[in-house]
């Protein structure tokens, strides 16, 4: 009897492992077109980032979920899928800011659609490696303000919409610094407008503990050359996941 139970259990486990190894849903056809090793475990179980940031797709992405210290903009809730490395980095940085500046809530815009591909309003965000994040803001008296949408700021730190809101240099730098220090995700770009980039770098000169991150900040903070200036949000991009160099391309397709 015991042997029969063991045999049944083994058969069930084998079936379960086989089922888990099968590509699911509409991504199945797409993954079948990938090199052979992606049809088998462990690659058939992993999150995949395929193609270029502006011409690509993803499979088995992680869904970013709201939690303490992190919220998702209302119209971005369907597009909050990304590679697990990106999603986990965003969780870590939101936690970081809430710890240093209690009460802070990080506001996320779009990541990618569940299966990736073109996303309205973006050139990239196609392969699960990109995410948009709102700036932290203050009122004119210096009190933290919780935004629920993206607000554009000039290089003078003032909101362009005339609301009187001010770019919170301290918290926005803390966020940049948290990404700079986080080596696990393989961060490759932090896009922001030239004016705000200059503002953040200047602010970081003010304290020794900030200054040591300046060299890396100078490399990673940049204004994109081929899209909008990013004066109302940060856009972060992570590098291709390890071991996927044959299907994932770092640079946008020209
Ligand atoms: Zn973006």
Q: How far is the CA of 132 from the centre of ligand 1 (A)?
A: 5
Rounded distance from Cα 137 to ligand 1 centre (Å): 19
User: Is residue 38 predicted with pLDDT exceeding 70?
Assistant: yes
Which domains does the chain show, CATH number per domain? 46-238 (3.30.1380.10)
Ligand 1 centre and the CA of 197: distance in Å? 16
User: Residue 13 above 70 pLDDT?
Assistant: no
Average pLDDT, the chain: 91
Q: Give me the pLDDT at residue 81, please.
A: 98
In the reported structure, the alpha carbon of residue 144 is separated from the centroid of ligand 1 by a whole-number distance in angstroms of 24
How do residues 163-197 score in pLDDT, each as one tens digit? 999 999 999 999 999 999 999 989 999 999 999 99
What is the Å distance from ligand 1's center to 124 Cα?
7
Residue 206 C-alpha to ligand 1 middle, in angstroms? 29
How far does residue 43's CA lie from ligand 1's centre (Å)?
A: 28
Q: Does the pLDDT value for residue 229 go beyond 80?
A: no
- Confidence (pLDDT) at 102: 96
Distance 131 CA to ligand 1 centre (A): 6
Å from CA of 53 to ligand 1 middle: 10
Q: What is the pLDDT of residues 111-126, one digit of tens each?
A: 999 999 999 999 999 9
Q: How far is the CA of 1 from the centre of ligand 1 (A)?
A: 60
**Ligand 1: centre distance to CA 222 (Å):** 13
- Work out the pLDDT band at 29, boundaries 50, 70, 90: confident
How far, in Å, is the centroid of ligand 1 from the Cα of 45?
Answer: 27
Find the mean pLDDT for residues 72-91. 97
What's the 122 CA to ligand 1 centre distance in angstroms?
6
Which pLDDT band, with edges at 50, 70 and 90, does 1 fall under?
A: low
Q: How far is the CA of 166 from the centre of ligand 1 (A)?
A: 22
Kindly state the average pLDDT of the residues 222-234: 82
Cα 195 to Cα 222: distance, rounded to the nearest angstrom: 10
| Total-model pTM | 0.88
pLDDT the model gives residue 226 = 63
Question: Rounded to the nearest whole angstrom, what is the distance from the C-alpha of residue 72 to the centroid of ligand 1?
Answer: 14
pLDDT of residue 22: 46
14 CA → ligand 1 middle, Å: 42
Q: Are strands 234-238 and 187-191 parallel, antiparallel or unpaired?
A: antiparallel
């Amino acid at each position: 009897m015991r042997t029969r139970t063991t045999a049944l259990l083994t058969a069930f486990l084998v079936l379960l492992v086989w089922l888990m190894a099968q590509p699911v849903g509409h991504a199945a056809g797409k993954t079948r077109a990938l090199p052979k090793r992606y049809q088998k475990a462990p690659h058939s179980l992993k999150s995949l980032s395929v193609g270029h940031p502006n011409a690509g797709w993803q499979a088995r992405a992680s869904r970013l979920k709201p939690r303490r210290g992190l919220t998702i903009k209302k119209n971005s809730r369907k597009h909050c899928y990304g590679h697990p490395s990106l999603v986990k980095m965003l969780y870590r940085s939101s936690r970081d800011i809430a710890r240093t500046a209690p009460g802070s809530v990080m506001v996320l815009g779009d990541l990618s659609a569940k299966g990736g591909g073109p996303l309205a309003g973006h050139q990239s965000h196609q392969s699960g490696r990109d995410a948009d994040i709102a700036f932290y803001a203050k009122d004119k008296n210096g009190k933290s303000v919780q935004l629920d949408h993206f607000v554009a700021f000039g290089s003078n730190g003032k909101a362009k919409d005339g609301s009187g809101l001010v770019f919170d240099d301290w918290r926005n730098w803390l966020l940049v610094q948290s990404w700079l220090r986080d080596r696990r995700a393989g961060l490759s770009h932090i896009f922001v407008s030239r004016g705000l980039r200059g503002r953040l770098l200047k602010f970081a000169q003010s304290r020794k503990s900030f200054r040591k991150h300046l060299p890396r900040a100078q490399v990673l903070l940049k204004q994109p050359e081929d899209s909008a200036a990013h004066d109302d949000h940060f856009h972060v991009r992570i590098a291709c996941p390890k071991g996927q160099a044959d299907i994932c391309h770092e640079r946008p397709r020209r």
